[in-house]
Structure 1
């Protein structure tokens, strides 16, 4: 397929365009309602808590309720390995992007560039565009992210040794619990007792039958799977509303006055995902690590996200360039809203060209 035909196919794909417009329109709605005063000052924080403690854990867990074959296992493990390697690579590479800054600023900007809002910003978009398989890959990819976010980033920003409370925070986070529980259930589904059930597709019973693990609730317990699905479906719209509310609460003029947040945002939402895409392409053509289109697209979207809330909180809590971090978070969020549709379109074009399979 030629480049122009791939571009045309992408921008005439109703599913892709509607996913992009849904993201942008709902973010703009949140922004408008906050500016208008319909949503109060703390409304975004409330929405964020609902998303992080209820919706995304349900989304992550349900994403693993699907069959596992050799290719799915290979792809999942490939994403897991890359999710660890890329953060090690970014930890060493990102400081070089800020060599002209003093050490304090360089360290903070490097951390903020390495760790994006993959959970709150990335997963809802991945779910809307790439479905359950994309969410599953993003949840697996986030394992490495959380390991380094709660260890390396904490130590670097605080100047202290790793504390027990941070280890507890890492493993008792509802999203982490849901991810590991879902992952272990997905990996072990052929090792547990099987039951024969009528096959359900998207919750609708068909005439076929299949043997599945007894805990595949999408097939064996729709009464439990369905309410989790309703909660999971809240993740995208509530997250996007919250992003809009947050943007509507901050003065753009003040944040935009400094050039550094703009340079940071360029690195965060363009350079970092581009680096991932280039390396994954090279690994694919050399046969070292062959990931599918959905897996690569998921990773690119996850890496094109703005500042991670936790990383920004570290900067504020430990008084490490708190104002710069807040401005960088704001500007990178705007940049991510603009760039995300572009990255999704780029990945669709590459898919049309058969770059990844």
Structure 2
């Protein structure tokens, strides 16, 4: 397929265009309602808590309720490996982007560049564009992210040794619990008792019989799977509204007057995902780590996210360039909203060209 044909196919796809417009329109709605005063000062935090404690865990868990074949297993393990390798790589590479800054600024900017809002910003967009398989890959990818965010980033920002409370925070997070539970169930579904049921397709029971693991609730217990699906479907609108509310609560003028947040945001939202895309392409064509289009696209979207809220919280909590971190978070969020449709379009063009299998 030619580049022009791939571009035409992308921008005439109702599914892709509607995913992009949904993201932008709901973020703008949150921004408008916050500016208007309909949403109060702390409303964004409330939406965030609901999304992170209920909606996104349900989304992560449900994404693993699907059959596993050899290719799906290889893709999942490939995403897991890359999710660990890329953070090790970024930890060493990102400081070189900020050599002209003093040591404290350089360290903070490097950590903010390494860790993005993959859970809150990335997963809802991945789910809207790439469906359950994309969410599953994003949940697996986030395993490495959380390991380094709650260990390396904490130690580096605090200047302290790893504390027990942070290890507890890492493993007792509802999203982590849902991810590991779903992952283990997905990996072990052929090793547990099987039951014969009428296959459920798109939430509707058919006459076709199929054998599945007894805990595949999407097939064996719709009464449990359905409420989790309703919760999962809330993750995107809640996250997008909260992003809009956050943007509506901060002075853009103050943040925009400093060049550093803009330089950081460009690195975070453009350079980091581009680096991932280039390396994954080289690994794929050489056969070292051949990942599918959905897996690669999921990773690129996850890496094109703005500042991670936990990383910003570290900066504020430990008084490590708190103002710079706050401004960087705002500018990178705005740039991510602008760039995400561009990245999705680029990825769809790449898909049309058949670069990844």
Instruction: Give your verdict on TM over 0.5.
Output: yes
Distance in 2, Cα, partners of 1:286 & 1:126: 27
1:179 aligns with 2:179: yes
Matches within 5 A, 1:141-180: 141-180=141-180
Q: Take 1:290 and 1:350, find their aligned partners in 2: how far apart are those partners?
A: 15
Deviation string 1:112-170 (CA, Å, 9 cap, x unpaired) is 00000000000000000000000000000000000000000000000000000000000
Task: Give the whole-Å Cα distance in 1 for the aligned partners of 2:203 and 2:6.
Answer: 33
**Matching residue of 2:31:** 31
Q: Which residue of 2 aligns with 1:343?
A: 343
Structure 2: which 5+ residue stretches go unaligned? none
The residue aligned with 1:319 is: 319
Measured after TM superposition, the shift of residue 202 of structure 1 is: 1.7
The whole-number CA distance in structure 2 between the counterparts of 1:111 and 1:205 is: 48
Provide TM-score, normalisation by structure 1.
1.00
Q: Which ranges in structure 1 are unaligned for 5 or more consecutive residues?
A: none
**Offset from partner CA, 1:50-77 (integer Å, 9 cap, x none):** 0000000000000000000000000000
2:102 is aligned with 1:78: no
1:104 aligns with 2:100: no
Question: How far did 1:203 drift?
Answer: 1.1
Give the whole-Å Cα distance in 2 for the aligned partners of 1:94 and 1:253. Answer: 27
- Inter-partner Cα distance in structure 1 for 2:55 and 2:134: 16
The residue aligned with 2:270 is 270
SS at 1:306 equivalent: coil
Which residue pairs with 2:198 in the alignment?
198
Matched with 2:63 is 63
Number of residue pairs the alignment of both structures matches: 357
TM-score when scaled to structure 2? 1.00
Q: Deviations over 1:167-215 (max 9, x none)?
A: 0000000000000000000000000000000000121111211110000
SS state of the match for residue 67, structure 2? coil
User: Helix, strand or coil: the match of 2:199?
Assistant: strand
Query: CA offsets per residue over residues 315-347 of structure 1, 9 Å max, x none?
Result: 000000000000000000000000000000000
CA RMSD of aligned residues (A): 0.3
Tell me how far apart the structure 1 counterparts of residues 335 and 104 of structure 2 sit (CA, whole Å): 24
Q: 1: CA distance between counterparts of 2:249 and 2:138?
A: 29
